[in-house]
Amino acid sequence: MAVTLSLFVLLNKSQQFLKPETLHFIGLIGSLWEFHSCMNAAVRATVRVGLYTGAKVFFVHEGYQGLVDGGDHIRPATWESVSMMLQLGGTVIGSARSKDFRTREGRMMAARNLVKLGITNLCVIGGDGSLTGANEFRTEWSGLLADLVKGGKITEEEAKKSSHLNIVGMVGSIDNDFCGTDMTIGTDSALHRIIEVVDAITTTAQRSEVTAAALPQYLALVTALACGADWVFIPEMPPDEGWENHLCRRLADQRARGSRLNVIIVAEGAISKDGKPITSEQIKKLVTDRLGFDTRTTVLGHVQRGGTPSAFDRILGSRMGVEAVMALLEATPETPACVVSLSGNQAIRLPLMECVQVVRQCISLTFFFFSLFLMCRSFENNWNTYKLLAHINPPDVKSNINVAIMNIGAPCAGMNAAVRSAVRMGIIQGHTMLAVHDGFDGLAHGQIEPINWNSVSGWTGKGGSNLGTKRTLPSKMLEQISLNIAKFNIHALVIIGGFEAYVGGLELVQAREKYEEMCIPMVVIPATVSNNVPGSDFSIGADTALNTITSTCDRIKQSAAGTKRRVFIVETMGGYCGYLATMAGLAAGADAAYIFEDKFNIKDLEVNVEHLIEKMKTTVKRGLILRNENCNANYTTDFIFNLYSEEGKGVFDCRKNVLGHMQQGGTPTPFDRNFGTKMGAKSVLWLTDKLKECYRHGRIFANTPDSACVLGMRKRALTFQALTELKSDTDFEHRIPHTQWWLKIRPIMKILAKYNIKLDTSEHADMEHVIKKRSALGK
């Protein structure tokens, strides 16, 4: 029988200590075919943080059925038992349907098995059905114990020790269909699989053809946005009557403009206004019969649930696992069962039954409101953005406004998606859109030309910068730039790029005192792999780079599969910003990540070497060390490699890898495509409103601080912040913000690597309420 350990955990700055209960981990899915590729990161984090706090952790194999059967299905988990699993798809503890658990007799057997092991905490991973079952189990707990005592299955003393059951859930679903969370575990990886297939399909367009792909509902909409699909059918928004004629007319128009391929996305359960189903085969027959186009259908099926987890899902699973353990340790008999979720970049807790009740209420509503609330708070924005950008529908009257777009700094994946959406949104607003080639150099030398709707077709999935980009700043070319702003009659400027774009924007603002031509609205969209632009938690391109690093680290570690006792030193990009090294370290399971923001010395390096020497004595005989390229001028990658090689001699050998510019290349991830698309569209809408405010005496004149802003994501929303106001939060010497949110999650990586450090949970997630979120959404 498991014994409650007499250890204490520091939980907050008020020196409150909690005595951990025996912790039990259960990983499960509502039904067998709901397996997806991203559960193992959550399993690993929950096990290791549970052990870190001094709790005893158990695996329950095969879901609720394993809970009912007991025996070997419930086994103690060890630190090594969850090693080398981050890159694995599926779930190592299995999942299965359980008819037995649906009966009271089955739940009594499950309760008996838990009581005998002294387990009073459950962490459940699954969908709404699995989590509802867990809450019902908790509600019945006292009655089940009473019946077990009455039947002589457990003693009064055992029942007293297990008098209450704590429940924490993590939502695992590729459909992203649970309320209160921005993204469920598994959704991002499913999008990766889908986009890979859609991208592969587009390369087959050597001849004219139409491709119809059938997908789950949420995934269908986001995929349509990410790949620029010509049409998407989703049950939440049935097409208008006569959609067949409209679709065929649109496809014919696209062909007339030279398009060789049309992509149509069809969601599962798509219906017409009169409730009749719409299928991919039906659309294929319609297009073939009416237009004579060569048409193919692709049903992705379970490929969406497989494969290697994305970096986002690994980090999400790890963060949710940590939060789940903290929620269990803080729980009291009065604490309601909760679900740990993601809101923006913040971990939150929601009452489980509030979420389930909202699900049940919404099921009776129309599909639109069901998805609008449950799938994602941004569902409506996704739908509206897609409708605007997918089909040309310019206003009858032109605005007589010229908006210029440029890329600044190093190229990155997602830049083209932002340009495409900005161009198309500008055209929809009636503006004339101008492309500036080669950054500020191009603006100074007149490399400016109109760009139209069709010019940006297919740009969403292309890496790099189609406009061309340079790092040159405008300070030495202000005279030429002002002349060309006047010559081309530019009324507003969209600057897409990294730290150079931010600094360049500041220089243009400062030049307003001398050059009146600079008194136009400007917006900077952060786009850099370094994720170092003040004013935004995330930059376009960083997610693609992060996935590149993570997948490369997976391959590097795999290269040592037949070689024991090897440590890899990997250098990442990022300038002085340690975002990539830290997040890749968390996603790839690194033993350490050296960054500029977290100072280290020779003693820290010695501790890391000793840690790896001890690690080699276990069954895990591989190590991974990440180093940000500018973390320390003296402790270079070569120095660290030589130090580890010398100090580890006879215990492990070392290999060095400098990833270089491969981190800037590649096709954009789904996140970067959608993020770029939303940022581009929102920037032009903001400029349109700002131009109206700045129109005075027949001309545009913008010289207030809020007329030149950075558009960034802050926690849960896209916000505009004045460039001049961000100066105080900027370390210009090292090209990073003073405040960086991700530094707070660095301890998670160290704990998961088995370092003995304190976990500061002073900013732990408080319990929020779904009803409040729902009311805010309605506003």
Contact 263, 198 (CB under 8 A): yes
In angstroms, the CA 582 to CA 593 distance is 6
More confident residue, 457 or 604: 604
**Lowest mean pLDDT, pick from 321-325, 631-635, 680-684:** 321-325
In angstroms, the CA 175 to CA 723 distance is 38
- The pLDDT of residue 767 is 60
Angle at 444 between CA 443 and CA 446, to 5 degrees: 65
619-677 pLDDT, tens digit per residue, is 888 999 999 999 999 999 999 999 999 999 999 999 999 999 999 989 999 999 999 99
Of the candidates 291, 345, 337, 355, the residue with the CA atom closest to the CA atom of residue 316: 345
Compute the average pLDDT of residues 118-128: 86
Residue % of the chain over a pLDDT of 90: 57
450's CB contacts (< 8 A; 6+ apart) are 432, 433, 434, 435
Find residue 762's DSSP bridge partners.
none
Contact 386, 426 (CB under 8 A): no
Q: Determine the CATH number of domain 394-540+670-736.
A: 3.40.50.450
Q: Which segments of 234-337 are extended strands (E)?
A: 261-267, 295-299
In angstroms, the CA 24 to CA 325 distance is 10
- The pLDDT of residue 209 is 57
501-548 pLDDT, tens digit per residue, is 999 999 999 999 999 999 999 999 999 999 999 999 999 999 999 999
186-225 pLDDT, tens digit per residue, is 889 989 998 988 888 877 654 455 566 666 678 888 999 9
Q: Range(s) for CATH 3.40.50.460 in the chain? A: 188-302, 548-664
Check whether 773 has a pLDDT greater than 80.
no
Contact 100, 65 (CB under 8 A): yes
Angle at 681 between CA 675 and CA 684, to 5 degrees: 135
Report the SS3 class of residue 20. Answer: coil
175 is a catalytic site residue = yes
Q: Which of the following CATH numbers is that of domain 188-302: 3.10.20.600, 3.40.50.460, 3.40.50.970, 3.40.50.300?
A: 3.40.50.460
Which residue in the list 72, 100, 128, 175 is annotated as catalytic? 175
- The pLDDT of residue 269 is 85
- The pLDDT of residue 768 is 65
Q: Determine the CATH number of domain 548-664.
A: 3.40.50.460
Q: Domain 25-184+309-363 classified CATH 3.40.50.450?
A: yes
Q: Range(s) for CATH 3.40.50.450 in the chain? A: 25-184+309-363, 394-540+670-736
Check whether 32 has a pLDDT greater than 90.
no
Separation in Å, CA 96 to CA 56, 68, 111, 124: 24, 12, 18, 13
Q: Which segments of 603-661 are extended strands (E)?
A: 622-628, 653-658
Of the candidates 405, 409, 645, 391, the residue with the CA atom closest to the CA atom of residue 533: 409
In angstroms, the CA 609 to CA 643 distance is 9
- The pLDDT of residue 28 is 33
Compute the average pLDDT of residues 123-147: 88
In angstroms, the CA 765 to CA 52 distance is 19
Contact 41, 313 (CB under 8 A): yes
48's CB contacts (< 8 A; 6+ apart) are 79, 82, 751, 752, 754
Q: Which helix (H) or strand (E) holds 696?
A: strand 695-696
**The two three-digit tokens of residue 775, written as one number:** 């009311």
Of the candidates 622, 653, 612, the residue with the CA atom closest to the CA atom of residue 555: 622
390-408 pLDDT, tens digit per residue, is 877 778 889 999 999 999 9
**The two three-digit tokens of residue 388, written as one number:** 């605007």
Contact 431, 466 (CB under 8 A): no
- The pLDDT of residue 94 is 79
In this prediction the pTM is 0.90
